Structure 1
């Protein structure tokens, strides 16, 4: 923590879209963390599954949550909540919040309804704008709704940021929820010539790290050039000094772009490998991605590579790499019955060439 031993307040933003069961499990795990100064903020990104009503019932203690990672604790209910629409939230909320004063962090919840699906960057930006209107938040934490967290994860992440004011973004170690010993993210690297953020140690276990990383402590602190938006602690000053997430991406690559911009501004990125969470939606190695995922990954990667990355040589190398390898991969996907991947990739390339951004109808 800080030299004075205080705990800077953290806005924990959980973006949810049609995932009420995952979201309440995530909140239940957040209630049990040891960090004493945080605020749970759920942004409903245009859900149609009754998310908000389910959250209210959970807050009243009416929906018990018992999974491999959390056990329902009736003593932590009720949770007092306040509900905002997007306009009110982005203005900083209202006087209702006086009703939350004096409550423990685990006993209060802010619910924000975006009104429509704004995508990952747009939905998170709603929560970030709300947080920046509050003078007391020192950090913003982005946390996927389909995660469960270790009790000390946030303490370990904030400790890293507090030790160095030049550290703008902190990540943690992310495991597969259904394979709790297997790593999905154990550090990240930004590859400019591929215009991609790469998860390191994917598929490994703590006892079987790759040779390049075997010298690192499994629970130590390492530098990084890419931190996934699944778990990202961001210093308030960074958010105030630069733009937020790029909303015209809608889905995928926005975290890569955000990390690149932070590095360009001189911020450091670090990962505390002792800050652990478990992610349900982490795609398994070898699993075929969907048409939607392949579309947005392809299109946005091209916009990132040719619009955001500075340096002509990087753009040339990326262009040569991408457009020489895609025809081969498209053919391989087509003959190996991965036609949805091939179609999504092709549509992504076409829309990039047309300059089409934002949400797509596929």
Structure 2
């Protein structure tokens, strides 16, 4: 018997990416899953477009799968943030009786709570209302292969595995679609908060085997047993976004679980689609959360502060200088200042 999986996707002003992601999901071979889509207070027409898609009114185009107009509409259950948090899913029995995977729970958050807070609304809903054994967090700017979830669940059933990631490719890297963004995730240094991706920007030449142990699993594609997620109490909302997946990984490892990449599970990711590459927001949040992560998981900020004011600073100055954007360095120092106050 296959284990049921709840797939949580977060949307914020990105309905076009979200629809391509959903369309790839509804083509997968795994037999028992449900999709919980959290709209994180979008200010565009996301809600309307998602409902139109579920009604078969929008045809999705992607270079990674054949475009076939939907013939069977996707049943949609709309839930307010208030009802989701109060465990007030009035059509729960009706949803459970629907055996088809072509269904969607749409939770409408009142505002943008970031990756951590937005997903936590979905976590609470899944734990309190659905019978899933596993929860999968999936970025809305991804496209999945048809057997990606089958391979993840297979790996998750190995002994003492706490979290599982996918082999994640760039959606498009200089015209190539076989360049790796991350193998599951990568490694992390608890003293400095430095995290890195396995096989980052390397072309996939095979030979990786079935599974690879990781230091952390990226939240881009992260499968975790619901019981473990409940013990961990979800993501730490104080991160808002960035480092919340590394933090969840660190806490999972402290419980004694292994983190693995299911190397046969393939996902394609439109990197930086929501925050922008080298945007002020990204520079600030990564720097701020770098310090918070170290304080929380190592107990001291001194190593991290030295690292941020030496090696990391010179690296950031060099990259911004190459892009003629040195003015953005002020957001780096603001991140350090605010990170020290947390």
TM-score, reference length from structure 2: 0.91
With over 3 angstroms needed to count, the CA separation of the structure-2 counterparts of 1:139 and 1:76, relative to structure 1, is farther
- Deviation string, structure 1 residues 277-304 (Cα, Å, up to 9, x no partner): 1011258xxx951111010000000111
Tell me what 2:285 maps to.
296
The yes-or-no answer on 1:128 pairing with 2:117 is no
Of 298, 313, 323, the residue aligned with 2:309 is: 323
Query: Aligned to 2:101, what secondary structure does the other structure show?
Result: helix
Query: How many positions carry a matched residue from both structures?
Result: 335
- Deviation string, structure 1 residues 243-290 (Cα, Å, up to 9, x no partner): 21111111111111111111111111111111001011258xxx9511
Looking at structure 2, the residues matched to 346 and 69 of structure 1 have their Cα atoms a distance apart, in angstroms, of: 41
Looking at structure 1, the residues matched to 85 and 190 of structure 2 have their Cα atoms a distance apart, in angstroms, of: 34
Of 164, 177, 180, the residue aligned with 2:177 is: 180
Structure 1 portions without partners, runs of 5+:
1-5, 210-216, 356-362
- Higher mean alpha-carbon deviation, 72-81 vs 229-238, is at 72-81
What aligned pairs does 1:89-100 form with structure 2 within 5 A after superposition?
Answer: 89-100=84-95
TM-score, reference length from structure 1: 0.86
Query: Aligned to 2:137, what secondary structure does the other structure show?
Result: strand
Tell me what 2:260 maps to.
270
Looking at structure 1, the residues matched to 22 and 224 of structure 2 have their Cα atoms a distance apart, in angstroms, of: 20
Tell me what 2:201 maps to.
203
What aligned pairs does 1:9-158 form with structure 2 within 5 A after superposition?
Answer: 9-75=4-70, 77-134=72-129, 136-158=131-153
Query: Aligned to 1:130, what secondary structure does the other structure show?
Result: helix
What aligned pairs does 1:193-232 form with structure 2 within 5 A after superposition?
Answer: 193-207=191-205, 217-232=207-222
Looking at structure 1, the residues matched to 158 and 92 of structure 2 have their Cα atoms a distance apart, in angstroms, of: 31
Of 189, 192, 209, the residue aligned with 2:190 is: 192
Structure 2 portions without partners, runs of 5+:
none
Looking at structure 1, the residues matched to 54 and 20 of structure 2 have their Cα atoms a distance apart, in angstroms, of: 12
The answer on whether the counterparts of 1:206 and 1:218 sit within 8 Å (CA) in structure 2 is no
- Cα deviation for residue 74 of structure 1 reads 3.7
Tell me what 1:169 maps to.
163
- Deviation string, structure 1 residues 183-210 (Cα, Å, up to 9, x no partner): 0012411222331331110111121x8x
- Cα deviation for residue 326 of structure 1 reads 4.9
Looking at structure 1, the residues matched to 39 and 166 of structure 2 have their Cα atoms a distance apart, in angstroms, of: 24
- Cα deviation for residue 160 of structure 1 reads 0.8
What aligned pairs does 1:307-318 form with structure 2 within 5 A after superposition?
Answer: 307-310=296-299, 315-318=301-304
With over 3 angstroms needed to count, the CA separation of the structure-2 counterparts of 1:139 and 1:340, relative to structure 1, is farther
